Every structure is written in structure tokens, then in C-alpha cells.
Amino acid sequence: MHQKARKVFYNAAVLTVAAALLSACNATSTNAPRAPSTPGTPSAPAAESKKPDPAVIRGMANLYSQAPAKDSEFWKKMESEFNVNYTVDWVPADNYQQKLDLVLASGDIPDLMQITNTTAPSILKAVKAGAFWDLTPYLGDFSKYPNFKKYTNQNAWVLSKVGGKNYFVPRTRGNLDSAIFIRQDWLDKLKLKAPTTLEEFAEVMKVIAQSDPDGNGKIDTIGVLPNAGFFAAGFGTRDPVRDSNGGIIHANLTTNYADYVQYMRDLYKAGAIPKEFALINGTQQEEMFMTGRSATLVKNAWHKYRMEQENQKTQPGAKVTILPYLKGPKGYSHIYDLGYFGGMAISKKVDEKKMLRILDFLHATTDEKYYNFVNFGIEGVHYTLKDGFPSLTDAGKKEVNSSFNAPFIFSTAEFAKVDSPLAPMSYNLQVREEMKALYKIDAKIELFNVLQSDAWSSAWSKVKDEFASMEAKAITGAISIDDFKAYQKKLLDNPDVVKSAGEFAKSYEEFFGKK
């Protein structure tokens, strides 16, 4: 793994965590995908004469497209390989957190749940209520679970802790993930250069929105959609902002965030953002870009090849360029991954014996030799190796998709979210080089995907919808930016929000040390 890929944090903070992990961190994060990858049979004790009955596991995972069928060749081989009877409740990704919240509230928690946000208020509340097994005493120093130590990102086990304990088996990966996709052929047509700063990006979006790059005779091209996860960082939201008592204010309530809203407000006023943007979900955003209605999309880098191919179906010659970051007034707009995306939680409703069987299952899938299996299926059926890289067959193109690996834990790979199984190796190598640009800047993680506060969870759960509405109103001009700032200040006076600043500061120190 590239040395800078280990820079999960920033500035002095990285030194603190690295020091804490040095003795235990000996993980191997290699370039993905892996080869050879034909599933082998997990080693068994010599004295074992009879294979135990399969572990019956009821799971829940998010679905981006089509789910692997339980009676498919892959699923049957997977169940046989790992000695499980694994039934997954697939929930559409756009509604996953909402469904997760409902399931947690009902108490009817499946044996194994994919958790996409380990710091979501409902998840922290569930942890504290004893909904999931505390795996800390069982994991120990990983001596009984060597795959977790050898093949996963050790930082992830630290960053995904709640109250200093491991309730999740993190779905670890490298730090390179998403970027802005932009239609390069449209830039060329309009004689525009690919932007490198937020200011340049705004100018490009305004020109595109006022032009007819798709040649349909209409001024109807969407420039961009608001995305705080990418753009807000350029206004300083990745840096801790302290209150007068040394507490850390949540990024959403800072003037830095208000500056991001002002930026989007200006783009909206110029016609670069569609009027109905607040109603457009992630799936629709992707569809709009694939069909040539939108000039940009924030997406995992590995989708670049697919997006280009889809655009070429309706617009021959379509070309997509990646923008890993844009320089802003207070940093860089970018996405630098935590080194994991959520994790798997085991319900406390299962007894200890079954919990250990499930943990063994997750440990087994983490073996490096299974990486291609759980990500691309069966070699010779779903993919073939070309130049050491999995290339999907026709069957693979039908069955292997974004949801394929959702119910599993697998070994860490630096380029897991960069390499496309649809693309030639030469194409992927080029995208890797483009994304490596993040190693050359002061890339920073999203702090509030790590920091925890019960007081914030309580306060935010009551106002998050209202906040989203006020943000949308500020962007559309329904309220002034000063009105939005006044709303932020009002929330800052909320007793729970005041309390959260101290809790965030304490959490920051636990994860990153004093600063």
C-alpha cells in the first residue's frame, strides 16, 4: 500500500494514532483486486472428523442494484465454502438507514446487520442499549483471529470503536474512494479547462448550465448538485472549530459550513443547480449523469468506466474525467476515506455460541485468498483473470454489482474503490494514478464520521430534517444566508448542542490525542 495511504488523519493527529497502533498494526493492504483468487477450503483441525451443521444466519444489507439470488451458483458455493446458511434481507440503499432505524426500534434485530454509519445517532443509541455484542474481549489481540490482524486496516478497528469497545467488525478498505466525475467531452466542446479550484469549478458550471453541451437544442443541462460530503471541506469543515470553552462545534453549525451553503446558493442563482435538487436522491443523481442530463456526479472512482460507457450509448464519444479534489479558500474539497465503510454488527439476541460462529464466518471471508470471490464471484464463471486483474464475464456483468459484497467482510485493498471490474487493467491503472493525487495534498477525513456525542445524537435527531429544510431554503434563496446563520446560532444555544461540544472534544482526544 502506498505509504501515504496510511495517513488516515491529518497533521499531528496522525502521529498520535499511529503511535498507539504501532505495536499492533502490522496489517497488509495490497493493491486490489488480488490474484490468484480461487476460493480454497479453510483449514480445519486435524482431529475434526465431522463438519458441523451450517450456521444459520439471518442478515440485513444495503442494495444498490440487483441482489445476488440465494439459489445462484455463487451464493450456493459461498454457503458451502463457509459452512453457512445465510439469508439476507436486502434493503435499497437510499432507504437503508431509515429501515435500519425502524428495525432497531422494533427490537426484531437480525443476527447480522450491515451498519453503514457507525456514528449514526440510532446506532450509538442501540449500542448503549445493548443491542449488539461487545466483541472486544473475544477479539483480544487478534491471536485467535489472525486474518483480522493480517489482512485488515488496523486503524479501522480504532476509529470504529464506541466508548473504547469494538461492537462492529469494520468493513475495511483503502483511503481512496470518491471524486467528481465531469464530462470532459463537454468541456472540450465549450473550450473549457478542467477546473482545479472551487472558484474555477463554479465558473465552469455556470457556463455549462447556460449552454447546450448535449446538443439537444435546449438550455437544460444540470451543472452540479449540492454535496456537503465533498464540497464543504474546501471551506474548512474538516478542521475542528472550538468554542470559548475548548469544546468542538459540530461542522454543520460553523461559519465554514455557512460559507459552503453560500457557494451553493450562488450556483443555484446562476442556474447551475436544478430547482428540485432537494428531492433528487442518489440513485436519481447517477441516472441523470449516465443519461447526459447532468455534467457532474460525486461517486466512487471505480464507477468512472461504467459511467463513460453508459454515456456513450446515447452520446457517442462521451468522455468522463475525474477531479479528485478542488482547492478552496480554507483547504481542499475532497473525500478521503476513513479506511473503512461501516461494519457488521452481531445481534445480542443470538447466544454466545452462535455469535462465535458468526464471528468465525466473518473472519474466514477476510482471508486475502477470498477477496476476489466475495467481490467478483467465481473465477471462470463470473470473471477471468487478465493481466492478473479480474475481468467480468457476461454472467458476471449480470450478477456482480455494487451490492455483491455488501453482506461480507473482506481483506483491505488500497484501490478497492478505484478499480472497475468492467475496465481493462490499463484503464484502471490510469484511474489509480489520477486518484493518487489525494496523497499529495493535505487530505483529511470527515471528523464527525468518527467523533461521538450522546448529547449531539439527541439534539440532531430532533432537528436534522428541519436543518436540511433550512439549508435547502438558504440555497434556493427562500431565506437569506443571514437567516441561515441565525438558525445555526439558535441551534448552538440548544443545551444539548452546548453539551455536545464538550463531548466531541473528549471524543477527539480519545481518538486523536490532545491538540
Class of domain 178-335+443-512: alpha beta
| pLDDT classification of 15: cutoffs 50, 70, 90 | very low
**Stretch 179-193: mean pLDDT:** 98
C-alpha to C-alpha distance for 31 and 36, rounded to whole angstroms: 13
- What percent of the chain has pLDDT above 90? 78
| pLDDT classification of 31: cutoffs 50, 70, 90 | very low
Measured from the Cβ of residue 321, the count of other Cβ atoms closer than 10 Å reads 17
If you search the block for the grid coordinates 437510499, which residue do you land on? 94
C-alpha to C-alpha distance for 327 and 200, rounded to whole angstroms: 9
- Residue 433: is it exposed, middle or buried by C-beta count within 10 angstroms (0-12/13-18/19+)? exposed
If you search the block for the grid coordinates 491471536, which residue do you land on? 143
C-alpha to C-alpha distance for 166 and 213, rounded to whole angstroms: 50
pLDDT for 132-155, tens place per residue? 999 999 999 999 999 999 999 998
Per the model's pLDDT, the better-predicted residue between 391 and 166 turns out to be 166
| pLDDT classification of 30: cutoffs 50, 70, 90 | very low
| pLDDT classification of 515: cutoffs 50, 70, 90 | low
| pLDDT classification of 402: cutoffs 50, 70, 90 | low
pLDDT for 352-389, tens place per residue? 999 999 999 999 999 999 999 999 999 999 999 988 88
Q: Are the CB atoms for 477 and 265 separated by under 8 Å?
A: yes
C-alpha to C-alpha distance for 177 and 200, rounded to whole angstroms: 23
| pLDDT classification of 55: cutoffs 50, 70, 90 | very high
- What percent of the chain has pLDDT above 70? 90
Residue ranges per structural domain of the chain: 55-175+338-417, 178-335+443-512
| pLDDT classification of 38: cutoffs 50, 70, 90 | very low
Phi, psi of 83 (to 5 degrees): 55, 55
Fold equal for 55-175+338-417 and 178-335+443-512: yes
Please determine, looking at this structure, whether the domain spanning 55-175+338-417 carries the CATH number 3.30.930.10.
Answer: no
**Stretch 86-102: mean pLDDT:** 94
C-alpha to C-alpha distance for 377 and 389, rounded to whole angstroms: 13
| pLDDT classification of 478: cutoffs 50, 70, 90 | very high
pLDDT for 204-258, tens place per residue? 999 999 999 999 999 999 999 999 999 999 999 999 999 999 999 999 999 999 9
Average pLDDT, the chain: 89
Q: Is the pLDDT of residue 177 over 70?
A: yes
Q: Is the pLDDT of residue 37 over 60?
A: no
pLDDT for 324-345, tens place per residue? 999 999 999 999 999 999 999 9
Query: Number of helices and strands (H, E) in the chain?
Result: 20, 14
Measured from the Cβ of residue 140, the count of other Cβ atoms closer than 10 Å reads 10
Q: Is the pLDDT of residue 7 over 80?
A: no
**Stretch 194-206: mean pLDDT:** 98
Q: Is the pLDDT of residue 32 over 80?
A: no
Q: Cα 251 from chain centroid?
A: 19
Q: Which residues pair with 176 in a beta bridge?
A: 336
pLDDT of residue 513: 84
Cis upstream peptide for 33 (omega within 30°) = yes
pLDDT of residue 403: 74
C-alpha to C-alpha distance for 371 and 409, rounded to whole angstroms: 9
| pLDDT classification of 34: cutoffs 50, 70, 90 | very low
| Nearest Cα residue to 184 out of 98, 330, 312 | 312
